[in-house]
Structure 1
Amino acid sequence: MSFIVFNGELSKRDTITVDIEDRGYQFGDGIYEVVRVYNGCLFTWKEHVERLYASAEKIRMTIPYTMEEMKVMMDKLIEKNQLIEGTIYLQLTRGIAPRNHAFPGSDVQAVLVAYTRLGERPVKLMEEGVDALIIEDKRWLHCDIKSLNLLGNVLAHQEALDAGCYEAILHRDGVITEGSHTNVSIVSDGTVYTHPANNLILNGISRRVMLKACESQSIPFKEEAFTVDQLMRADEVFITSTTLEITPVRRINGQPAGVEGQYPVIRQLQESFTAAIETECGSLR
């Protein structure tokens, strides 16, 4: 029997129901985070929880718990479910109130739900790479908020899957933004390029770990937008996310991305990423 966190308390998963007037259910009015767990340890928890609170502020939502209280809850959840390797998904909605576009009154408290999921490191994908499809970015202009409004991402990802690809790489007027559920970076002439962290992308936590890896490995990098043409001419292309860490892209629209199987800079970054995990969470098996 798995346990979840529901409004600050550990509860058996099958005892909890969603109210039909929860604003997350009716409006997508909420925020979320996915945090990786290695060796029973929350990796980059500080960065994730700070981004959660930043998202809450941007949508004018009050989180009824301190960051310290949230950490205690997540640690208890990991312990109760005996999670060694996997993820925690946590979500906050604006609360339960009669359906109305206007915010409910201050007496309505945000609803918190968190649960765990087993999941090993995607070693095969990180080694062999994945295929991607370029798709127009039709989403809203607040992609920096990790909100529950993911329909645009879902549609883009499904289009990629329908084409036999793993991920969709999105562009606005020919400028690459990010993936449907990842950040996208390229390597050209030894320099890593990734879209600047503005309202057009989510400032991914793994993206940040990757940039720190560039610094530690003395790999030049630029937080600078690049075009579809630059993407197709890049020496290496890779995606980053909480569950994928740093994963090469081997083909885009059916064409090789760089030289397939040759990822010298990506391999350096992967090694540094692994070192960051082990520094924070202990040795990986």
Structure 2
Amino acid sequence: MDELASVNGTIGRAEEMTIPVTDDGLLRGDGVFEVARLYGGRPFAWDEHLARLERSAANVRLEFDLDAAKAEVDALLARAGAVDGTIRLLITRGGRRVAILSPLPERLPSARLATVRYAPTRVLDAVKSLSYAANMLAGRLAREADADEALLVTPHGRVLEAPTSAFFYVLDGRLHTPPLTEHILDSITRRHVIALTDATERVLHCEQLPELEEAFLASTTREVQPVSAIDGRPLPSVPGPQTAAAAEALRRHIAES
């Protein structure tokens, strides 16, 4: 699939589209964004993504024309047709509405995680911001540790999430996920998994990681991805029964939506 993009309504090949170098979205990572997965050209849970985009923009005091952004995404999707992939919508401080249509990133059948110490920025709570350098660095640090992805933990040892996905785990036979009060992102896929399963919010400490029976990551692009090891320790069940059930429930829900 060719990567297409729209900048304030002008559509072209993604690699040929431009924004001014003076845009603070580029200079300072000042802006907000959303990514939705496309199934046959249809973005799953798009209304939820747009609602979160509005909240993020309001939280960082960034005004933008939502109707124009929606129309520009619709035009981009109409140009692309019934494709599978992702649609990314960015709103920059410089006033640019940027929509990018891309193929799905390649994912492994399961992921090995390495814990990386991380302190969430409180002022950006509930904001899906363009300022993702810390998240990207965490992923690089994990790969340097011979893992596939990072598992972010606070300096005090509480488990949070992965850089671009929610973390679910099974402990004492029950499915849990770290609570939003730990200043993690209110992930849309996380919401759907909780609604489709009996998962509950529960604080998890690093010293409990060896006790986990199974775990998985959940995100727009991953759906449900089993975790095979954490800090070099294999998990006993990959994918475990609750991971497999969550993956099937999410796939069925997406197909029926």
**TM-score for both structures, normalised by structure 1:** 0.83
Output the CA distance in 2 between the equivalents of 1:255 and 1:120. 26
Q: CA deviation at 1:202?
A: 0.8
Report the secondary structure of 1:178's partner residue: coil
Whether 1:80 and 2:100 are equivalent positions in the alignment is no
Q: Which amino acid aligns with 2:219?
A: S
- In the other structure, the counterpart of 2:222 is 244
Say whether residues 1:229 and 2:229 are aligned partners.
no
1:84 maps to a residue whose letter is V
Distance (Å, rounded) in 2 between the aligned partners of 1:70 and 1:91: 9
Deviation of the 1:197 alpha carbon? 2.1
From 161, 166, 169, give the equivalent of 1:183.
166
One-letter amino acid of the counterpart of residue 131, structure 2: N
Q: How does 1:20-169 map to 2 (within 5 A)?
A: 20-66=21-67, 69-95=68-94, 110-119=95-104, 122=107, 125=109, 129-141=110-122, 142-169=124-151
Is the contact between residue 194 and residue 224 of structure 1 (CA under 8 Å) also seen in structure 2? yes
1:278 pairs with 2:250: no
1:263 match: 240
Give the RMSD, CA atoms, in angstroms: 1.9
* Aligned 8 A contact 1:236 1:266 in 2: yes
Check the 8 A contact 2:227/2:238 in 1, yes or no: no
Structure 2 runs not aligned, ≥5 long: none
Give the match for residue 207 of structure 1: 190
Identity percentage of aligned residues: 29
1:162-208 per-residue CA deviation (whole Å, 9 max, x = no partner) reads 12211100111110011111111111233221122247111111111
Q: Would the aligned equivalents of 1:139 and 1:152 in 2 still touch at CA under 8 Å?
A: no
Unaligned runs of 5+ in 1: 96-109, 281-285
Structure 1 stretches of 4+ moved >6 Å: none
The answer to whether the 8 Å contact 1:83/1:116 transfers is no
